Each structure stands twice: as C-alpha cells, then as structure tokens.
C-alpha cells in the first residue's frame, strides 16, 4: 500500500453532513478487501462557506480510493501520491468546532 493525499473541495454544507460522510467512509473502508485505510483528515474552511477536507490514506491505488469514494458517496477533487513525510512538530490540539 502507498500513501496518498486526497483533496475534497466544497464537499459538505455543515459539520453534521461531514460527520455522516465520515461514518459512511469508515463503514466502506473497513470492509474486507477495500484496498484503502483512512489515516487522518484535516477539515478545510472553504471560501464558499462549505467544508472540504485534505485526507491521508494508505491505498493499493488511486482507483481503490475512487472506488471507496464512490461507495461512500464522497467527492474527490484530486488524488496526489505522498512521496515523503517531514514532521517538524506534532499536530497541535484539534481546532475548536
């Protein structure tokens, strides 16, 4: 499995809609042989007022990510292979909702 960054722009009108999407994503991704493993996500405040995400996944391929997204009814704006990780500092405490 390789690491990928997935950008999902303007995907959700609210935090509640994003939470529902996260539950679907977990259910589909946890299925045997899904070919993906969700590592973490950062929620983006979009200029439109909607929410987007930047997600880090382990996956067999970009096609496996697209199949997961389709099965969980998630948008996919862009999939980018992650070449390396540079950690300068650990993530700070989660942002307040």
* Residue 90 domain flag: no
Q: Which residues pair with 81 in a beta bridge?
A: 4
Phi, psi of 77 (to 5 degrees): -90, -45
The set of residues, in sequence order, having a beta carbon less than 8 Å from that of 10 and lying 6+ positions away, is: 46, 48, 50, 51, 52, 75
CATH of the domain at 54: 3.30.70.3090
Its domain, for residue 16, covers 2-81
Chain centre to alpha carbon of residue 73: 12
pLDDT in tens, 46-96: 999 999 999 999 999 999 999 999 999 999 999 999 999 999 988 887 766
What pTM, to 2 d.p., does this model score?
Answer: 0.87
Asked whether residue 92 is domain-assigned, the answer is: no
In a domain, 94, yes or no: no
| 47 assigned to some structural domain | yes
Count of domains observed in the chain:
1
């Amino acid at each position: 499995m390789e690491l990928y960054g997935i950008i999902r722009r303007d995907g959700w009108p609210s935090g509640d809609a994003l939470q529902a999407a996260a539950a679907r994503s977990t259910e589909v991704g946890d299925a045997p042989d899904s070919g993906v493993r969700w590592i973490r996500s950062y929620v983006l405040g979009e200029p439109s007022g909607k929410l987007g995400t930047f997600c880090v996944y382990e996956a067999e391929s970009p096609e496996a990510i697209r199949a997961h997204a389709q099965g969980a009814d998630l948008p996919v704006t862009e999939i980018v292979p992650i070449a390396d990780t540079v950690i300068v500092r650990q993530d700070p405490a989660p942002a307040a909702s």
